[in-house]
Structure 1
Amino acid sequence: MGFLPILALGQTIVSGTVTEANGMPILGANVYLEGTYDGASTTEQGGFSFETTATGVQVLVVSFLSFETFTMAADVSQLQDLTIKLREDVNSLDTVTISAGTLEASDNSKVSVLKPLDVVTTASALGDFVGALQTLPGTTTVAEDGRLFVRGGDAGETQIFIDGIRVFTPYTPTTNNIPTRGRYSPFLFDGITFSTGGYSAEYGQALSSVLLLNTIDEPDQEKTEISLMTVGGGLGNTQKWEKSSLSVNATYINLAPYIAAFPDRNDWQKPFEGYAGETVFRHKLKNGLFKLYAAFDGTDFELTQEDIDLPEGLD
């Protein structure tokens, strides 16, 4: 029993009251000595009291949600009957503006999704703008169709427009289980705008989405473009005069090398071969711009597909 007074003398009581700036007591504030396990929480009257064996100068920390953390460095013998006032932690928030995405006619700055270079550098697109769009959120891949399906809708519910004119046959012909491709070169367009949500009432016949293809109004310079693929290539040239310009593009695709290297389930008598060409003539008028667009494309292939009803297959 002779050691008990010595142990009592080795402990110091830290006490005080925690209030707001207006004097209101704070319930549940955390009060502790930094670097130790000694501490307590404030009562309904804001008071706190705990014992510590620490000696010398210590850092008292008081923290509570939505208030600035209070710290005080002093000898533990002086940390008694304290009155601590916490200041509110006020953060200034910038104005937050929430707006829904919209598609306005002749306003591509807000909805432009892909540039021509984005199309040809998108993996698996093979220079096809439809293939590049299939990598965007909201689109879905249906078997090996190759057309544009948006949010569970049919491909026919996605309307495609070139310079405001609806396109009724935007895809190349194909057969069952062979993906189709878009008919147009991405380099003819200034930008490809794609909306999987709301769009203007101007395109009311669209049910799932709208794809706008706007041709270049005026080329920036004369240029020649060459594209190379393992299964084909493309060539384009643009000539520019004082008030006129002419752009010509041609592409060729032949899947024979690919099918020879990676045979599939189809029996190809003639592998897929496709060719296409486009030209755009532009002429500045006094109060506008005249555009003339012409295109051609051809597809040639022959194969025999497996069919459960035909032992010899379907030609």
Structure 2
Amino acid sequence: MKKIIFAVIGLLFSAGSFAQTDISGTVTDSSGEPIPGANILITGSTWGTTSDFDGNFAFSTDLTGAQILRVSYIGFTSVDKPLTLDGTAQTVNVVLQEGGQLLDEVVLTASSTFRSQKQAPLSISSVKMKEITKLSANSQADILRSVPGITAEGGGGETASNIFVRGLPSGGQYVFNPLQYDGMPLISSFGLNSSAHDVYARPDIGFKGVEFVRGGAAVLYGAGSVAGIINYTSKTGDTNPGNIINIEVANQGRIKTDFYSGGQLGGEDSNTYYAFTGFVRHDRGPIDVGLPTKGVQFRGNIKKKFDNGSFTLSGQFIDDKAQFYLPIPLSGGSRERINGNDGNPVEQLLSGDLANTSFNTPGGTYNSPIADGVATTGGYIMGDFN
């Protein structure tokens, strides 16, 4: 009986000695360079491994008999090596030739689809036109200071507002948060100039509102949007039909006429709509510096609706001059106004007296255009396919 037991144990140990086969080797290319990450697999099984940084590999398997070892790597032709597994260590060195299976072209695409503010993955604040009208806003700062997360300072006047976004340093103006009208940046050369974005357009009653998209993800909607993006959306005739005229009269020669007209073009079955808005104004104040604020701005759009989309043609023209006030210097100790060259206290630093300022340069005499204040003349035409 003891002989039988020892015989069975001996057979088990003998079988165990043949159950494990060690397989090792190196994978290189035709120039002898090692190929890291190559796949080594016994076909029809889950036994295998990958080559290391030096192209070496090693693994053990319980399989026995005739097997096929397949070595493959993307961009190289696979190699099959026949093996007989009987417990004896096997060394397999494989040279892969370039060619064979290649990855298909990978195309990454992204699109912006309509989402409500609740569905959007970003934090968005919006101010509707009714709220803006109640503010009696004359500048971007007047509007944007009501948006959470933004500190706006417009002490220089209507233009060149200083916009600061919570959590980020800023030298003022629109360093990290560009200003857009209907998705078009008013200026796109970020960091290459000292001009504020709101110099190129003025608020009017032709907007549905303004949105502020916070965070770095705002770069999906416009370049330079490190801290977020500010976007004004215009009314179109299909959304706000009707006519509006606002007339404002005040002292210092202030008169401003805002208007909006929108509706349907053609008959009742027409799918074409229009919107036209703008203002005409003149103002000497609030400080009479000899540089009156005066000018016009006109904006409009024509929208054609189709069964599966729409096309909108938008445009703007502006010819406007706005006062801009520089900081008044104060005495460091008493914080009182200093005296100017005429011996009188300085009241402001933007005066009509500076209109004739000139100085010599290598290119000739430079005559300051300061008499024009912040003068903006120009416009744009934009097509929007949806």
- So what's the TM-score if we normalise by structure 1? 0.51
Between the aligned residues of both structures, percent identity stands at: 16
Q: In 1, Cα distance between the equivalents of 2:226 and 2:185? A: 14
Cα pair 1:157 1:209 within 8 Å, conserved: yes
Contact 2:208 2:233 in 1 (8 A): yes
1:248 corresponds to which of 276, 290, 296: 276
Aligned with residue 295 of structure 2, among 270, 274, 292:
274
In 2: Cα distance, 1:276 partner to 1:238 partner:
17
From 107, 117, 134, the equivalent of 1:109 is 117
Alignment of 1:169-188 (within 5 A): 183-188=201-206
Distance 1:250 1:165 in 2: 18
Q: Give the Cα–Cα distance (whole angstroms) in 1 for the partners of residues 325 and 207 of structure 2.
A: 37
SS of the residue 2:142 aligns to: helix
Tell whether 2:152 aligns with 1:141.
yes
Correspondence 1:211 to 2:230 = yes
Does the 8 A contact of 2:214 with 2:228 survive in 1? yes
Higher mean C-alpha deviation, range 159-168 or range 196-205 = 196-205
- Read off the aligned partner of 2:245 and give its amino acid letter: I
Query: Superposition RMSD on alpha carbons, in Å?
Result: 3.6
Distance 1:108 1:217, change over 3 A: farther
Any stretches of 5+ residues in structure 2 without a counterpart? 1-111, 119-123, 189-194, 330-337, 343-352, 356-386
Give, in whole Å, the separation in 2 of the partners of 1:245 and 1:186: 20
What's the TM-score once normalised by structure 2's chain length? 0.42
Cα distance in structure 2, aligned partners of 1:139 and 1:120: 19
8 Å contact kept, 1:268–1:304: no
Deviates more, 1:288-297 or 1:220-229: 220-229
Equivalent runs, 1:9-88 vs 2, <5 Å? none
Contact 1:254 1:272 in 2 (8 A): yes
Question: How far apart are 1:166 and its partner, in Å?
Answer: 2.6
Conserved in 2, the CA contact under 8 Å of 1:185 and 1:249? no
Partner of 1:314: 354
Residue in structure 1 matching 2:175, options 156, 177, 185: 156
Task: Rate the CA distance shift 1:113–1:182 in 2: closer, same or farther, 3 A.
Answer: farther
Question: Matched residues in 2 for 1:105 and 1:208: separation?
Answer: 22
Secondary structure of the 1:119 match is helix
After superposition, the C-alpha distances for 1:88-129 in whole angstroms (9 at most, x for unaligned) are: xxxxxxxxxxxxxxxx86435333511111111115x23x45
Q: Do residues 295 (structure 1) and 316 (structure 2) align?
A: yes
TM-aligned CA distance change 1:148 to 1:272, over 3 Å: same
User: 1:156-208 CA distances to partner (integer Å, 9 max, x unpaired)?
Assistant: 32112333333318xxxxxx9xxx66725454333321134454440462122
* Contact 1:234-1:252 at 8 Å conserved across structures: yes
Aligned-pair CA distance for 1:289: 0.8
Q: In structure 1, give the amino acid aligned to 2:319.
A: G
2:142 matches 1:131? yes
SS in structure 2 of the partner of residue 136 of structure 1: coil
Count the aligned residue pairs.
194
Matched to 1:120, the amino acid is: T
User: Is the CA contact 1:130–1:181 (under 8 Å) kept in the aligned structure 2?
Assistant: no
The amino acid that maps onto 1:150 is V
**Match 1:195 to one of 213, 224, 229:** 213
Q: Residue type of the partner of 1:251?
A: F
| Pair 1:224-2:229 in alignment | no
Distance 1:121 1:303 in 2: 24
**3-state SS of the aligned residue for 2:143?**
helix
